[in-house]
Amino acid sequence: MSVQVSVDNYIATVVLDRPAAMNSVDQEMRQELHQTWERIRSDEDIRVAIITGAGEKAFCTGSDLKKTMPTQETFAQQIYAKSSSSALTAGLDFDKALIAAINGYAIGGGMELALACDIRIASDNAQFALSEVKIGSVPGTGGTQRLPRAVGLSDAMLMLLTGDRIDAQEAYRIGLVSRVVPAAQLMPAALEIAAKIAANAPLSVRAIKRLVRQGMDMPLAHAIDVERYALGLLYNTEDRIEGRKAFAEKRKPNYKGK
């Protein structure tokens, strides 16, 4: 298995486990990741997931070019003849929270995987690049769209058009990552964030993620209307009532996602 998954206290830890290949993605890993995304989506014992790489050098360096041969299918076949996309991030469009714990190189598709996550933290040895322009290609797994939304147009264009790498401190400066920590503290930091999210009301977490993601593409007035609708949907849920009872009784709430 090239993807290792463990679940504890509502937190799934997903490890890309091909350290000898810098955690690059071959066809086997791609299939396992798609199965993992579906498991996270459907398993009610998972409220938040952390994605990281095995070893100390790489988070993920994108497709394994040594093992990924060009497809013999036409582009029309790829788009219309399959039930779902084979893209690395296909299936990640769910409402549960995702944390990328970036422990080294996040290059090409690996950086695009990190961009598809909600929260990104990095070890101090992390390196980032979307270098496809250097080989006559373009980032094709959301990089040209997610990066400007994450860091703004100018910094995104600088990375995309030069293809140059940036280090963890520069990634922090432009807002690509939320925190930079020593390598030994990366997973403890990610688990601390995940535990805080997992302790919150699951329906509220999912609603907030969906509101933020969808609202970024809406006019502000429309987005606020949708926000009020979501508040109404949550108003009489068991968890919302439990949250108020727990506050009044000065205890931790016991949320059930209902």
Q: What are phi and psi of 27, to 5 degrees?
A: -65, -40
Cα first-last separation, the chain: 35
Q: Which residue do the tokens 């989506």 mark?
A: 41
To 5 degrees, how large is the angle CA 202–CA 204–CA 208? 120
Active-site annotation holds for 44? no
d(CA 35, CA 10): 18
Q: What are phi and psi of 58, to 5 degrees?
A: -145, 140
Q: Which of 112, 192, 227, 238 is catalytic?
A: 112
Active-site annotation holds for 238? no
- Comparing CA positions, the residue from 110, 62, 101 lying closest to residue 194 is 101
Q: Which of 132, 192, 238, 249 is catalytic?
A: 132
Give the amino acid at 111. M
- Comparing CA positions, the residue from 227, 237, 2, 16 lying closest to residue 107 is 16
User: Taking the CA atoms of the chain, what radius of gyration do you get in angstroms?
Assistant: 19
d(CA 172, CA 156): 13
Question: Known catalytic residues?
Answer: 112, 132
